[in-house]
Structure formats: structure tokens, C-alpha cells
Structure 1
Amino acid sequence: MKKLLNTLYVTSENSYLALDGENIVIYDDKKELGRVPLHNLEGIVSFGYRGTSPALMGACAERNISLCYMTPQGKFLARVTGKVRGNVILREQQYTSSKDELVGLEIAKNCILGKVHNARWVLERAVRDHSMQIDAEQVKKASEMLKNSLMLIQNSTSGDELRGYEGEAASIYFSVFDELILQQKKDFTFQGRNKRPPCDKMNAMMSFVYTLLTNMEASALECVGLDPCVGYLHTERPGRASLALDMMEELRSVLADRFVLSLVNKRMITAKNFTQKENGAVLLDDAGRKIILTEWQNRKKETITHPYLQEKVEWGMVPYVQAMLLARFLRGDLDGYPAFLWK
């Protein structure tokens, strides 16, 4: 159980939520885990199947507190609200801002600044921790190039220009990504990003984990009342979660890529977990997917200090915090969208 930005996150999958006076009470079987006053809550997110009492649902609807239900793995199930009030205004602001080139560009810039900043510090960490195992000079050079890219991104004046700088920065980062593979070098190499289909083991894992991260982002946006399909950087297409793709950019390197590297470097995933098709596609087998899903759940439970809130949060909560910060910016409560800047 964790309260962040006036949203209560109940992460125990066996929890039942009930009402006692003006308090939400969290039970595990008959044991009370905690209680929180309703008066200062904006939302409740439950990662469990046991449910909520009708009395609590009615109290939340009356007070315009949204109730979001997720699977323990973080898949969005449903969002329950009372009469339509604030969220229609929030979505209206989202749609308006997506058509405003200046506002949309600033949000997209912050997402990409977060992406490049975090990618740079992934490289800096590698130099600091593994300088004897990698080409530290080459990785350090790439880090400095990413540092220079941050200024270009900050000064970009259009979406196309921003996408160009983002693409260049991604090429720089991926040019040294193979250096970060410290174990099983015979079986795992990275020569560049490829997909649809992935043509090597690293890309097969990265594509799978990127999908998991995108689903997390889409669920987080649904929880705060934003439309995951209306973004600022990625173009809108039917069925495409453009805003979720925008938001995942900040966490791509620091959460997804580092996670994939850890699976290889700790030998949790090996070459036997992959098959290669006649067309060159490399696919994870069922055992490999199971390992990744299990370890992904474990990674999401690891705790960090959120750089903006300066509070301890689990990695799995970061997309929800960022979605709430974006919603607060669109409502006018913040002067800008604060990207997730890891170090």
C-alpha cells in the first residue's frame, strides 16, 4: 500500500477494500493492513482480484474518486467513476494540447530529454562499474555525444526536428550497447536495433519487454483518465497507443534495457531459450517468456527514490506517477511536465 500524489496504490493481490466511516480500509483475509481517509484522495488503484465493497464504490462515486482495477501483473481491467465530472475536462485539455504545436512540442521534448538523459546515465553507470570489462573510452565518448544531444533537443523548434535529434541520439546509444553485454558474449551480441521480426536474441527480448512497458504505460494513463491513443511525439493511428509510446521513451533504457541486460549478464536467460525461423526471425520460447515475466514482476517491486517527488517508490509505480504528473500539468497545476530523470 502506497499513497502518491493523492492516489492510493494497493499492490497486494489478496487485498479487499472496504469502507469504515470516512476511511478506506484494506484487508488481507480478515487482517486489517491499513486505512486511509477518503477526503484527500483523488484515485484508488488496486492490483488484485478480491474486489471492493459496494459501500466504498458508492462513497468514491459520490466524492469523484476514481477506482481502477488492474491484474497483479499490471494489466488494465476497468476504471469505475461516478457521474462524469473532471475527467471529461482533462481529456478535452489533452485533445486541445495535442493540436497545439507549442504545447505538444514541449511535452514531447521533455519525454525525449528524459529518454536521452537516462540513456546517457546507463552508459555512465557502465563506465563506473565495469570499466575493466568494456571499451570505457568508446562508451564515454558516446555518453558525451548524448550530452551534446540534450542541448539540440532542448532547442528544437518542430516535431520533425525533434524526431531527427531523437533518432540520432538513439543511434549513438545503440552503437555501444553491445559493450554492456558482459556475459555469454558468444551467444548474445547486439549490432543494432531490428524488429518485425527481431533477428537476434537481444532484439527479441527487447521487443518483448518494450511491449510489457508500453502496456504498463497505457494502463497508467487509463487510470488517471487520459487517452493512451492521443500523443505528442508518435503519430496517431487507429489502435496505436501513441501517448503510451511517448511516455515509455523515458523508461526505455533505464528500466527495460537494463532489465534485459541483467537477464543475460546474470545468466537467467541463455541461448537455449530461443528458436530461429526460416525467415531469420529469432523468437523466445515459452520457458524464456516465463522467466522474463517472473523477473519483470520482481524488478517492478524494487524500490528507488523518485527524482521529482523525492519519495521512495517501486519501479512498477513510476509509470503511474508520470501519468499523474502529466495530468496535473494538463490541468494547469504544474508549469511543465517533469520528465523522469534517473541518475
Structure 2
Amino acid sequence: MGKTKYINSMGELSRKDDSICFRKNGKNVYIPVENTTEIFCLNEVSLNSKLLDFLSKSNIIVHFFNYHGGYSGTFYPKEHLISGKVTIKQARLFEEQREIVAKSIVNGIRENMIEVLMHYYKHGKSDIKPILTHLKKDSVEKLEKANNIKEILSVEGYIWQTFYSSFNHILREDFVFNKRVKRPPDNPLNAMISFGNSILYAKTVTAIYNTHLNQSISFLHEPSEGRFSLSLDLSEVFKPVIVYKTIFDLVNNRKISVNKHFEKNVNYCMLNEEGKKIYIEALEGRLESVKEHPRLKRKVTMRTCIKLDGYKLLKMIMEGKEFKPYSLKEGI
């Protein structure tokens, strides 16, 4: 896969010959088309239809973020891999086996949370043992008893709340966590979670774009107009592995500071420009980290693993093979 380009400053994007040009403060920065898969606009950026046509022909996706660092939307080129056959079978799987796929996703979230927390338990954070017990036993029983999507979503909520309860045992005191607040985030930890989740969601949109899957037919989240709900599904199991591991590393190794890297107001908190750069660099580092894939017998990045989950779902849609999302423990 090609590279991701992040634009943190205000400016103008345009086409210059066969390149993309970003102009700010009277200076031009050129973005090569050949090895660029997606562009993240994290500030106010202007562009025109000439550029959009060029981006579409080059199959480059552009993600837009708002002032608070939340996901606003995506410029999505025409789907070059769209398949009516896959869409029909994907809809059939939704009708016949939605709960099975949804449970598999929730169980994948749970297993990856356990693997992330076990690292801290083994390194002296013994206070989280009851939390691990809840994730290993109670949540499994709850998930097995869930009979419909509403109940499965309730178990997912329980699992996330259990995971959140570990934070004050793991993180430094200045990153206190009371509860998850999203729109807008109200403290530095919530700001990093929201920003990371938004980037991961956009990355998943890009990954699914490069498969035959239909973005609008999801299994855990309710399919709805105006959003790529399948990307919400497939990104969930990667949140503990990519977003939260990145945050834990930045906080505990003092790479990010409450006083230096955030803008705070009465109603919101967000990463400042320097904070975003630090966070993005760490997140990209984790996405590009390479591990040996036990089945493929070759090294793959975490970014590729997101796309591989899309292929696993395709296998279930087209061949009836069980869908088991990415497992941090197993490396697949």
C-alpha cells in the first residue's frame, strides 16, 4: 500500500501538472501521486474540482477533520472494485448471520483488550487482576447469552467500560480518566482517544475501499445512510492494539504532556499542533510496525492487517468460512 500524507496547516491543495501541490504561506510543497494512498487534512484546506478529478483518477482518498480533531468526512473516488455479486451476498450474510459476525467482532475486541492489559499485569500492575477476570470470564458468559444485536451491543458497552476502568491503574496521575466523553472530548485522555479513533476509522475506510466489500452493509453497527458503517465494524478490534497502545506508550514514557501538548477550554480539550504531530508519528509507527504473519509466512504491517480482516470477511461472504478478526496474541 502507498503512503499517508498528513496536512496540519491551513493552505491550498491543487493540481500542478501530474503532482499534488500544497501551498501555504507562499511556499509550495509537492506530494507525489505514485506512492500516495490517502491524504489527511487536519486543518482548514481549500481545493477545487480540477484537483478532485485528478485525485479520483489516481484513486487517492482525502479525509477531512474538524477543529476539535474529529472526523468530518471523506472524498471517496468512484469505487473501482465494486462488485454487485459481493454486495448481494454481503446483504444475504447480514440477513442470515448478522449476530454471528457481530459476536465475533465483540469477542475480538475483548481478546485484544486482554492481551494489551496482560502486558501491564506482568509488569507489576497487579491491581488490574479483577478487571482481567471480568474480561476473561464475565464478558464471555454475557456474550454467549446475547441473542440479538441490542444485547450484543450492550455486552460490547460492558467490555469497553471494564477496559476503561483499568486506565487509572495504568496511566500517570495527570492523565486521570473519569468517563469516556466524545463530542467534544473534555480532557487530554479523551482528546487522544477521539483523535486516534477517528484516524483509525479513516484508515479502515481506505483499506475497505481497496477490497470488493460494500462499505454500507455492516454487522455490529447499524447500517445507515451517510457513513461507512462497515469501517466502524472492522476498526473496533484494532482500537486496543493501535489507538490505546499508542496512548499508553506516549503517556507512560512522558512523550506527551498535559501542559505542553493540549488546548483546553471550558467545554472541550484537544491536541495542539505539536501534540498532533507527536501522536500521529507514534500512531503511524505502530501502523507500519512489521510482524511475521504465521499463515502467510511473510512480514506484514499492522496497516495491512486491517485490509486482511476485510479479506477474511470476504471469505465468509463468498465461501462461508468463519470470520475471526485480528488477534494480537496470534498475530493474524
Please report the TM-score for the alignment, with normalisation by the length of structure 2.
0.74
Change (3 A) 1:121 1:310: farther
Change (3 A) 1:153 1:227: same
Aligned to 1:299: 286
Please say which structure displays the higher CA radius of gyration: 1
1:124 to 118, 134, 157: 118
The separation in 2 between residues aligned to 1:162 and 1:308, in whole angstroms, is: 30
2:261, 2:275 within 8 Å by CA — same for their partners in 1? yes
3-state DSSP class of the match of 2:238?
helix
Change (3 A) 1:125 1:307: farther
Aligned to 1:36: none
Q: Does 1:338 align with 2:332?
A: no
> Any stretches of 5+ residues in structure 1 without a counterpart?
1-8, 14-46, 53-66
Q: Identity rate of aligned residues, in percent?
A: 24
Aligned to 1:177: 167
The separation in 1 between residues aligned to 2:140 and 2:316, in whole angstroms, is: 22
Aligned to 2:157: 167
Aligned to 2:181: 194
1:48, 1:70 within 8 Å by CA — same for their partners in 2? no
Q: Does 1:91 align with 2:59?
A: no
Equivalent pairs, count? 272
The separation in 2 between residues aligned to 1:157 and 1:93, in whole angstroms, is: 23
1:313 to 300, 309, 330: 300
1:60-89 deviations in Å (ceiling 9; x for gaps): xxxxxxx9845799x88646748x7xx211
2:61, 2:77 within 8 Å by CA — same for their partners in 1? no
1:31-50 deviations in Å (ceiling 9; x for gaps): xxxxxxxxxxxxxxxx9722
Q: Residue 293 of structure 1 aligns to which amino acid in structure 2?
A: I
The separation in 2 between residues aligned to 1:222 and 1:145, in whole angstroms, is: 36
Q: Does 1:210 align with 2:197?
A: yes
> Any stretches of 5+ residues in structure 2 without a counterpart?
6-30, 37-56, 64-73
Aligned runs of 1:14-29 on 2, under 5 Å?
Answer: none
The separation in 2 between residues aligned to 1:289 and 1:124, in whole angstroms, is: 28
Aligned to 2:105: 111
The separation in 1 between residues aligned to 2:149 and 2:59, in whole angstroms, is: 35
1:308-333 deviations in Å (ceiling 9; x for gaps): 6564311111111101111121111x
Change (3 A) 1:152 1:311: farther
2:288, 2:303 within 8 Å by CA — same for their partners in 1? yes
Instruction: After TM superposition, give the deviation of residue 127 of structure 1 in Å.
Output: 0.6
1:175-217 deviations in Å (ceiling 9; x for gaps): 1122221x4x2x2111221111111101100100000111111
RMSD: 2.8
Q: Does 1:274 align with 2:262?
A: yes
Structure 1 stretches of at least 4 aligned residues deviating more than 3 Å after TM superposition = 9-13, 67-73, 75-82, 305-311
Please report the TM-score for the alignment, with normalisation by the length of structure 1.
0.72
3-state DSSP class of the match of 1:189?
coil
3-state DSSP class of the match of 2:270?
strand
1:262 to 233, 239, 249: 249
Q: Residue 118 of structure 2 aligns to which amino acid in structure 1?
A: E
1:141 to 127, 130, 140: 130
2:109, 2:240 within 8 Å by CA — same for their partners in 1? yes
1:117, 1:150 within 8 Å by CA — same for their partners in 2? no
1:117-138 deviations in Å (ceiling 9; x for gaps): 111111111111x20xx3x1x3
1:258-302 deviations in Å (ceiling 9; x for gaps): 1111111222211111121132x1111111112222222222111
